[in-house]
């Protein structure tokens, strides 16, 4: 892991590559993703089949693309009762949290009788990306709930979920059970950038959607970025990130465990410790080595720590907050004696976890807030997936006769100042 000592105070040069991590993403990846999108736009299902065979399942056929209702029913019948209980508990907490986000339409009436307001409506359809891991080996079941529950609360009529198939062309039955609990309407076994293309442009088998949400690896993330504008997207929810601010009260074993919990997502995951205590750095390093030994995904963790793991020493917690605000991490843990006090210094982070009893994992699965979060520094300007992601607001305006008589001349004056005579006449014809 890289070590940085900010002994001379706020030296932005020393953390520049972390702050600009999105800009330094390999441009050739974006080019590759562009080609995939173009190919799916042109060839539709044929391209989906070719990429799926090349990357996920060599024997895949188009008949396997859509998950049949019978397969979903079988998954539900065969699923362990305890697992269903856990999913239902997570769903309940996620629903309770997101229901609070639902905004209302509103209208105001002026004295002259004009009515104005904002009408909130859900998008018609949403595409939900659920990561499957290489070859569908590690599906993120919890992400099904995080994607679908806010969409349902918003009132989206059609939820189409995509996830990569495994080597045999199947998907985890847990994904199907979660999809059923969350109210997903269609499930397609297709992943990566080509799945995003299918949701954006449509293909013979998959109708296009209005909004695409959900996290994914760098290919999924770049694809979402590129189709954004044609469809809505939630945000740049790429490879996971955690930044932990710790003081001398923190337990190095738990810091190491929390860093590894994100490192295991992806070789591109970013794990960062910012501390005021130099001795903690050494302890965390040895705890990482110790814990890595028997982790099933230790190779992914090692790669992530090697390429994107950083230990930063700072003078005080105010400086730690500055570092974190510059990096704008997806997840921020405040593992310090007075986390609520430190919270007042935090400006940019997707989700913030306070104190020794709040490992980031509780947010991944059960607490209730959404785990689909902005990465690569985009927490500077974007937020967690929410009910809002699936809503649009239309302005509503209704003029009375007396209001038009009063405002009409002003409209005409402004329109003529802009050289737009037709605008002026459309009002004047009504009041003259
Ligand atoms: N930011 C968030 O909110 C959030 C939440 C959960 C997970 N994540 C991240 O989501 C990601 C999930 O990744 P994953 O791999 O488990 O699942 P994934 O579904 O995103 O990626 C697997 C797909 O990518 C394809 N792929 C592999 N190599 C490719 C290549 N060279 N070109 C094109 N496609 C290729 C695979 O064939 C498969 O279809 C991780 O990075 C994780 O950290 C982020
Ligand atoms: N930590 C991920 C968000 O970066 C979410 C997740 C799903 N499952 C486990 N973790
Ligand atoms: Zn996680």
Indicate if ligand 1 lies below 6 Å from the C-beta of 247.
Answer: no
- Separation between Cα atoms, residue 47 and residue 203, nearest integer Å: 10
- pLDDT for 180 equals 97
Confidence of residue 230 (pLDDT cuts 50, 70, 90): very high
Which mutation among 135, 192, 223, 270 tests ligand 1's pocket best, with the greatest number of atoms within 8 A of CB?
192
- pLDDT for 137 equals 64
| Known catalytic residue at 330 | yes
What residue has token string 């070789």?
A: 267
The phi, psi pair for 326, rounded to 5°, reads -70, -40
Q: Which atom of ligand 1 is nearest to the CA of 55?
A: 37
- pLDDT for 134 equals 64
Residues in the chain, how many? 432
Ligand 2 neighbours, Cβ below 6 Å, are: 140, 142-143, 240, 262, 330, 364, 371
- Closest ligand, as measured to the CA of 365: 2
Q: Whose CA is nearest to atom 6 of ligand 2?
A: 364
Ligand 3 geometric centre to CA of 146 (Å)? 12
Q: Which atom of ligand 2 is nearest to the CA of 143?
A: 7
Q: Whose CA is nearest to atom 16 of ligand 1?
A: 133
Indicate if ligand 1 lies below 6 Å from the C-beta of 275.
Answer: no
Q: Which atom of ligand 2 is nearest to the CA of 375?
A: 4
Give the mean model confidence (pLDDT) for residues 86-110: 97
Q: Whose CA is nearest to atom 20 of ligand 1?
A: 216
- pLDDT for 26 equals 79
HEC string of the chain equals: CEEEECCCCCCHHHHHHHHCCCCCCCHHHHHHHHHHHHHHHHHCHHHHHHHHHHHCCCCCCHHHCECCHHHHHHHHHHCCHHHHHHHHHHHHHHHHHHHCCCCCCEEEECCCCCEEEEEEEECCEEEEECCCCHHHCCCCHHHHHHHHHHHHHHCCCEEEEEECCCCCCCCCHHHHHHHHHHCCCEEEECCHHHHHHHHHHCCCCCCCCCEEECCCCHHHHHHHHHHECCEEECCCCCCCEEEEEECCCCCHHHHHHHHHHHHCCCCCCEEEEEECCHHHHHHHHHHHHHHHCCCCCHHHHHHHHHHHEEEEECCCHHHHHHHHHHHCCCEEEEECCCHHHHHCCCCCCCEEEECCCCCHHHHHHCCCCCCCCCCCCHHHCCCCCCHHHHEEEEEEEECCHHHHHHHHHHHHHHHHHCCCHHHHHHHHHHHC
Structural domains of the chain, ranges and CATH numbers in brackets: 2-22+239-367 (3.40.50.1980), 27-233 (3.40.50.1980), 401-431 (no CATH)
Q: What does pLDDT average to over the chain?
A: 96
- Separation between Cα atoms, residue 266 and residue 28, nearest integer Å: 19
- Separation between Cα atoms, residue 362 and residue 354, nearest integer Å: 11
Ligand 3 geometric centre to CA of 89 (Å)? 18
Sheet containing strand 211-213, strands side by side: 186-189, 158-163, 125-129, 211-213, 232-233
- Separation between Cα atoms, residue 68 and residue 74, nearest integer Å: 10
pLDDT tens for each residue of 290-299: 999 999 999 9
Confidence of residue 133 (pLDDT cuts 50, 70, 90): confident
Q: Which atom of ligand 2 is nearest to the CA of 330?
A: 4
pTM exceeds cut of 0.90? yes
Ligand 2 geometric centre to CA of 126 (Å)? 21
Both tokens of 308, joined, read 């994107």
Q: 381: which residues sit within 8 A by CB, 6+ positions away?
A: none
Is residue 264 over pLDDT 60? yes
Please enumerate, by residue number, every residue annotated as part of a binding site. 240, 262, 265, 331, 364, 418, 423
Find the catalytic residue in 331, 333, 360, 371.
331
Angle between helices 278-292 and 252-263 (to 10 degrees): 60
Find the catalytic residue in 330, 333, 360, 371.
330
Indicate if ligand 1 lies below 6 Å from the C-beta of 131.
Answer: yes
pLDDT tens for each residue of 181-219: 999 999 999 999 999 999 999 999 999 999 999 999 999
| Known catalytic residue at 410 | no
Confidence of residue 7 (pLDDT cuts 50, 70, 90): confident
Q: Whose CA is nearest to atom 4 of ligand 2?
A: 240
pLDDT tens for each residue of 363-382: 999 999 999 999 999 999 99
- Separation between Cα atoms, residue 195 and residue 47, nearest integer Å: 10
- Separation between Cα atoms, residue 61 and residue 172, nearest integer Å: 18
Ligand 1 geometric centre to CA of 373 (Å)? 15
């Amino acid at each position: 892991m890289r070590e940085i000592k900010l002994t001379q105070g706020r030296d932005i040069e020393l953390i520049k590559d972390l702050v600009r991590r999105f800009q330094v993403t390999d441009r050739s990846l974006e080019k590759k993703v562009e080609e995939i999108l173009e190919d799916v736009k042109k060839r539709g299902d044929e391209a989906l089949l070719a990429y799926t065979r090349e990357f996920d399942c060599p024997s895949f056929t188009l008949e396997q693309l859509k998950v049949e209702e019978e397969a979903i029913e079988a998954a539900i019948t065969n699923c362990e009762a305890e697992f269903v209980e856990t999913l239902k508990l997570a769903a309940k907490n996620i629903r309770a949290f997101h229901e609070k986000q639902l905004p209302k339409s509103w209208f105001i009436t002026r004295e002259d009788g004009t009515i104005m307001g904002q009408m909130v409506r859900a998008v018609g359809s949403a595409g939900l990306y659920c990561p499957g891991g290489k070859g569908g080996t590690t599906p993120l079941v919890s992400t099904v709930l995080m994607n679908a529950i806010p969409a349902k609360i918003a009132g989206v009529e059609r939820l189409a979920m995509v996830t990569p198939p495994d080597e045999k062309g199947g998907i985890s039955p847990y994904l199907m059970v979660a999809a059923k609990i969350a109210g997903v309407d269609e499930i397609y076994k297709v992943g990566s950038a080509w799945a995003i293309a299918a949701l954006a442009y449509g293909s013979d088998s998959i109708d296009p959607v209005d909004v695409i949400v959900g996290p994914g690896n760098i290919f999924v993330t770049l694809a979402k970025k590129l189709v954004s504008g044609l469809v809505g997207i939630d945000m740049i929810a790429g490879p996971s990130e955690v930044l932990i601010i710790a003081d001398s009260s923190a337990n190095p074993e738990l810091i190491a465990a929390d860093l590894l919990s994100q490192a295991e997502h992806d070789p591109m995951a970013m794990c960062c410790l910012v501390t005021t205590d130099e001795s903690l750095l050494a302890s965390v390093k040895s705890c990482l080595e110790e814990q890595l030994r028997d982790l099933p995904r230790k190779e992914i963790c090692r790669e992530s720590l090697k390429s994107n793991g950083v230990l930063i020493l700072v003078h005080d917690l105010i400086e730690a907050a500055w570092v974190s605000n510059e990096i704008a991490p997806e997840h921020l843990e405040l593992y310090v004696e007075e986390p609520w006090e430190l919270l007042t210094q935090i400006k940019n982070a997707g989700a913030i976890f306070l104190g020794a009893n709040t490992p980031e994992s509780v947010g991944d699965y059960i607490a209730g807030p959404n785990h689909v979060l902005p990465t690569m520094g985009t927490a500077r300007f974007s937020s967690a997936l929410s009910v809002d992601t699936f809503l649009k607001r239309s302005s509503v305006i209704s003029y009375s006769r007396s209001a038009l008589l009063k405002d009409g001349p002003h409209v005409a004056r402004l329109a003529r100042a802009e050289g737009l005579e037709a605008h002026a006449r459309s009002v004047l014809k009504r009041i003259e």
